[in-house]
Amino acid sequence: MRAVPLERCEPLREPHAYHGRPSILTRYWSATTGAMVVCGSKRLMHAAMLLDFDAAITCFSAPATEIAWEDGSAHGTVSPAFFARTADGRRLAIVHPGRAEPDGARERQALEMAAQAAGWTLTDLDVPIGVRLAWLKVVANFRFPELFDTATRPALLDAFREPRPLARGVAEAGLPDTALAHVWHLLWRGDLLFDQERPLIPVSTAWTADTAHRQAAS
């Protein structure tokens, strides 16, 4: 399995709805890969959204493999939630938090053994909640590449060399109100930074990365 790019493979199977299932099955279009990611629940979709936002992640997909384990008479299967690759070449198997019962410990051990043998690094599933989820949903709405405007980008970045409210930065750049959509896209890309501990609204303050470096140096 060391040579198999699981982060680029199609999922082993797609989740199916059934009576009593509380989750909503969905697909998430990833700006990172330009492809759909199969998510078995809204919770997994939110986690996929966070992976998509993370500039360190260069590729990720829904699970393309299943690990079978046995321990005496006990047996079962377990799959990571996602496989991902980072910009520095690490391969990540992103797993659900372990369950408290014995099978949960066995599943974790099986994942650890498989990851070690195949050269993957296990990392626990990070599902955004609260304010973090709220701003992530907002900027994810503007993740689509057609919102990247080479004509307005320089003017917007120049306007945010000093921290400014989003709408005021658009005005400072001499652009129409519709250019605010391009500002949201720059927030998604990480070209503009913002306070991730506070709600993100049109009057929130944003700034460029070099502004942050300049402030840190001073």
Average pLDDT, the chain: 90
Considering the chain, what percentage of its residues have pLDDT values greater than 70?
Answer: 91
Please, where are the H alpha helices in the chain?
42-53, 102-118, 130-140, 153-159, 166-172, 180-189, 209-217
Buried b (16+ CB within 10 A) or exposed e, 104-117: eebbbebbeebbee
Instruction: In whole angstroms, give the CA distance from residue 91 to residue 84.
Output: 6
DSSP summary character for residue 57:
E
**Which residue ranges form the domains of the chain, and what is each CATH number?**
6-124 (3.40.1350.10), 145-217 (1.10.10.10)
pLDDT of residue 218: 42
3-state secondary structure of 121: strand
pLDDT of residue 217: 41
pLDDT of residue 58: 97
Q: How far is CA 217 from CA 9, 163, 194, 207, in A?
A: 43, 16, 18, 15
pTM greater than 0.85: yes
Task: Give the tens place of pLDDT for each residue, 13-55.
Answer: 766 655 665 556 688 999 999 999 988 888 999 999 999 999 9
Task: Give the tens place of pLDDT for each residue, 130-160.
Answer: 999 999 999 999 999 999 999 999 999 999 9
Residue 4, Cβ neighbours under 10 Å: how many? 12
Task: Give the tens place of pLDDT for each residue, 54-69.
Answer: 999 999 999 889 999 9
DSSP summary character for residue 98:
P
Region of residue 89 (left: phi > 0; alpha: psi -120 to 50; beta: else): left
pLDDT at residue 212 above 80? no
